[in-house]
């Protein structure tokens, strides 16, 4: 008999913040949840596998304990061969990672007690997911589901560096350090861009498919994004210089990029990005592969406790 709540715990998340606070979290959960068990990840894809197993065994609620990367793996575990294992299952989250961008859209707390209580008192929202189909680093077709934000271009280059760092500097400085290092190695990308039925060719710095509003450790990239409207907020940053990027960093965090004429915001259900150059793709802060890529919105497919 499966426990009612299954926790998928990433002890390494947030520079091992989860491991350091697990005893306190476990105590809080015992006071709030009537029936739960936990699985601890040790390597990549463990969270996806544990989620699939728990849902197949009849678990009703999966709780991701970690960062955005843990959340991404758990979301992918809700599916098997392209289909939801249990369409009625619910997803909860206790976010203690480096970025923790998903929870910012809801203004959710990061303190352990508040996060634990939300699992019992929060409302269930039918949220959209994104699906990206791209090439892995060996050039083979691959696909990933994502719940927050996917990016082709500069954001993916930053995520690549963040995930290769220790993240010991904390959320802001870990991402800012990676941003600066990525900036001086990055080149604008010539792309063929299809947004729903509209096609164009241009040179871009980044193309963002946003379901949630934040990415990159607190960057407010898409203030108008909604997780339940059946649409991506697509952010297209056109060809830009390194100086212009540095001059606009504060606007990214304040959510005021709309003031920049080189940044376009459109809503869409499907985006395709092709290029003859080498460019990475990330989903929820994790490397998904490289271009070409197709991003599609999946309306209201997952039940999230918020």
Cβ atoms of 306 and 123 closer than 8 Å: yes
Cβ atoms of 131 and 145 closer than 8 Å: yes
- Percentage of the residues of the chain whose pLDDT score is greater than 90: 73
Q: Is the dihedral of CA 254, 256, 261, 263 positive or negative?
A: positive
Mean pLDDT computed over 222-245:
97
- pLDDT (tens digit per residue) in 94-115: 887 767 899 899 877 667 777 7
Mean pLDDT computed over 39-56:
97
Three-class DSSP category at 77: helix
Q: Give the C-alpha separation, 168 to 195, whole Å.
A: 38
Say if residue 292 is preceded by a cis peptide, omega within 30 of 0: yes
- pLDDT (tens digit per residue) in 284-296: 999 999 999 999 9
Alpha-carbon radius of gyration of the chain: 19
The pLDDT assigned to 109 comes to: 66
**Residue with token string 């509003």:** 213
Domains of the chain with bracketed CATH? 5-122 (3.40.50.10330), 129-299 (2.60.200.40)
* Whether the predicted pLDDT of 36 surpasses 80: yes
* Whether the predicted pLDDT of 1 surpasses 60: no
Task: Give 82's pLDDT tier (boundaries 50, 70, 90).
Answer: very high
The pLDDT assigned to 95 comes to: 85
């Amino acid at each position: 008999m499966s426990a009612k709540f299954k926790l998928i715990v990433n002890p390494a998340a947030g520079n091992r913040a989860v491991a350091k606070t697990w005893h306190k979290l476990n105590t809080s959960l015992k006071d709030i949840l009537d029936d739960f068990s936990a699985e601890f990840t040790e390597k990549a894809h463990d969270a996806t596998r544990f989620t699939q197993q728990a849902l197949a065994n009849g678990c009703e609620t999966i709780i991701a304990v970690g960062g955005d990367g843990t959340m991404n793996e758990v979301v992918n575990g809700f599916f098997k061969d392209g289909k939801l294992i249990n369409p009625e299952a619910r997803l909860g989250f206790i976010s203690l990672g480096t970025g923790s961008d998903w929870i910012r859209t809801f203004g959710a707390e990061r303190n352990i007690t508040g996060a634990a209580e939300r699992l019992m008192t929060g409302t269930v929202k039918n949220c959209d997911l994104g699906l990206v189909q791209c090439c892995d680093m060996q050039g083979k077709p691959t696909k990933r589901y994502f719940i927050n934000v996917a990016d082709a271009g500069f954001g993916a280059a930053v995520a690549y560096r963040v995930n290769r760092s220790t993240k010991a500097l904390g959320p802001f400085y870990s991402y800012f350090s990676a941003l600066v290092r990525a900036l001086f190695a990055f080149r604008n990308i010539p792309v063929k861009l299809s947004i729903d039925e509209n096609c164009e060719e241009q040179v871009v710095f980044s193309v963002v498919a946003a379901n949630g509003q934040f990415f990159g450790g607190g960057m407010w990239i898409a203030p108008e994004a909604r997780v339940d409207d059946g649409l991506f907020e697509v952010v297209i940053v056109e060809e830009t210089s390194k100086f212009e990027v540095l001059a606009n960093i504060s606007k990214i965090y304040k959510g005021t990029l709309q003031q920049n004429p080189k940044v376009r915001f459109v809503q869409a259900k499907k985006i395709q990005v092709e290029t003859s150059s080498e460019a990475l793709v990330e989903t929820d802060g994790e490397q998904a592969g490289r271009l070409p890529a197709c991003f599609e919105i999946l309306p209201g497919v997952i039940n999230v406790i918020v």
